[in-house]
Amino acid sequence: MSEQNKPFVVTDRRKFTLDGTPRPDADPSPERESRDTPAEPAPAAAAAPPLEFPQAAAAEPGPPAALPPAAQPPAEPTPTAEADLPPAPTAKEMEQANAAYQQTSERLETAVRAANPGMDHPPAMSFEQIVQSIYMTTILQLGGGTQEGQAPKVDLMGARGSIDMLAILAEKTKGNLTADEQRLLDSALFEVRMGFLEVTQALARSAASRQPGTPAPGAPGSPGRPTIVR
């Protein structure tokens, strides 16, 4: 049979009848999607609201974190105490200040002598007087000069400062003293140092031998025992 005489066959591919029931002779194969019908674009997803993150509180500035020992920068040299000192006076300023001081001192001495007729002229200050003044101050701080029957008051810290003052004076004047001045200074230093050791040892023995119920050193009823002045 020629191609022109072949009967035209219409195939019904509907799966359901007009009343909505499935047709028994329907093609069980799935329907092919029409290539001519463009696929509908999927509905755009609703834009999600932007996520909100809690803002961190602004951190207060604090000290920088310590670096490990190997990464620490080299320490800056500390400025010397000389940087804080005022500028030294000039030679002319020193001369003017000395002249003004001498004039004022003479007027003061004249006024004192006029108020006290017959008063001897005070001796000029010397190196021996400076050493003797510090020496006597140290003896008093160690309890010397206490009247009989009274408990001596000992200022160990003050005595140590006075002894160190004499030691600095000896160090700074080394090689500039006469034989008599050097002998005076050495004797004063030796005596106050030995006196300091004797007083501290006496106080240590007194504290070690103190018994419960006995008066403390320097308390009423214990005359002669030294009292430390703090």
- The pLDDT assigned to 152 comes to 82
Count H helices, E strands: the chain?
4, 2
Its pTM stands at 0.53
- Region of 158 (left: φ > 0; alpha: ψ -120 to 50; beta: rest) is alpha
The span from the CA of 143 to the CA of 227, in Å, is: 9
Secondary structure element (H or E) that encloses residue 228, with its range: strand 227-228
For residue 92, what pLDDT is reported? 93
- Taking the C-alpha atoms of residue 151 and residue 208, their distance in angstroms, rounded to an integer, is 19
**pLDDT value, residue 162:** 97
Q: Check residue 19 and report its DSSP letter.
A: T
In angstroms, what CA-CA distances link 99 with 87, 95, 104, 108? 21, 6, 9, 14
| Residue 102: CA count within 13 A, CB half-sphere | 7
Q: Which residues contact 46 (CB under 8 A, 6 or more apart)?
A: none
Q: What is the pLDDT of residue 77?
A: 57
Calculate the alpha carbon distances from 4 to 1, 9, 10, 11, 33 in Å.
Answer: 8, 13, 16, 19, 31
Instruction: Round to whole Å and give the CA distance between 30 and 114.
Output: 142
DSSP 127-154: HHHHHHHHHHHHHHHTTTTPPTTSPPEE
Quote the CA–CA distance of 89 and 100 in Å, as a whole number. Answer: 15
pLDDT of residue 41: 52
Burial tier of 52 (Cβ tally within 10 Å: 0-12, 13-18, 19+): exposed
Predicted pLDDT of residue 229: 44
CB 153 within 8 A of CB 225: no
CA dist., res. 130 & res. 186, Å (int): 14
User: Within a 13 Å sphere around the CA of 222, how many CA atoms are in the beta-carbon half?
Assistant: 13
The label of the residue with tokens 């240590």 reads 204
Along the 230 residues of the chain, how does pLDDT read in single tens digits? 555 555 655 566 666 666 667 776 665 555 554 444 555 555 554 555 554 545 544 545 555 555 555 555 556 655 555 667 789 899 999 999 999 999 998 899 888 888 888 888 777 889 999 999 999 999 999 998 888 888 888 999 999 999 999 999 999 999 999 999 999 999 999 999 999 999 999 989 988 887 565 555 545 444 445 554 43
